[in-house]
Amino acid sequence: MTAQLEHNKQRLAAKIEAAAQQSGRTAQELCTVAITKYVEAPTAIALARLGQRDLGENRAGELEAKATAFHAESVPVRWHFVGHLQRNKARRVAKHADVIHSIDTISLIETLQRITAELDRELAVFLEVRLTDEDSKHGFSPAELGQGVTALRGAPNLRALGLMGMSPAAGSSEESVAAFTHLRGLADELQNDPASANVFEGGRVLTSMGMSGDFAEAISAGADYLRIGSSFFEGIDRPQREVPA
């Protein structure tokens, strides 16, 4: 298994480097998050021991289970939560996640601020932007982003990193590029807007966009964080079980 993981990791790194170079960028500008929802904790731990220390989950229960397993093995990682987060599960996620990519409502911002203040910890966050009209997509509409930024200004325990978005589920490469370019444009607008001053960390508005099937398009559009799952785990057995909620 370790050999297969290393092979996948190196192959993916080469593809990311090639896509970055084609866009006049370098892979060092990017943070690649390995989405481990596809595999059991021992496989995720093996990947982390190969040097992949940014890992992501999309369900609260699975994040809890894997974070507990990693702690038992003394394997340090940075946990990213990338799925839709219900307010009633916010505390479970806030205890373990370092970064949440899917902040999609003002009420969730308020809930997480209260919880993180009680836990005496900070969370890095992305505002999720709804780039398509698909029912499966969540997030602020572009017109609502200002409200999200205002809410973050009043949430000192939440460190705003930028915006997250997804391309159309069955979209073409051109449609993916258009969606990601739109998100990057929204990020640039916020970065240049005095009303957003001192909200986003370092004065920069980063973007979290691109998955296994469209990361090259995301890189070309200016992605900062990639969320990649299946490409890391090709040839690896996946669990035949119900995933914790």
pLDDT in tens, 28-60: 999 999 999 989 999 999 999 999 999 999 999
What tens digit of pLDDT does each residue of 178-196 get? 999 999 999 999 999 998 9
β-strands 206-208, 158-164 pairing: parallel
Model pLDDT, residue 240: 56
The pTM (predicted TM-score) of the whole model is 0.95
Residue 134: pLDDT band with limits 50, 70, 90: confident
Residue 245 above 80 pLDDT?
no
- Closest to 232 in 3D by CA, of 216, 217, 211, 218: 211
Model pLDDT, residue 164: 98
Residue 63 above 80 pLDDT?
yes
Residue 169 above 90 pLDDT?
no
Model pLDDT, residue 195: 87
Domain boundaries, the chain: 2-232
Range in 82-96, 161-175, 231-245 the model is least confident about: 231-245
- Average pLDDT (7-33) is 97
Mean pLDDT for the chain?
A: 94
Model pLDDT, residue 239: 64
Residue 123 above 90 pLDDT?
yes
Top CATH class, 2-232:
alpha beta
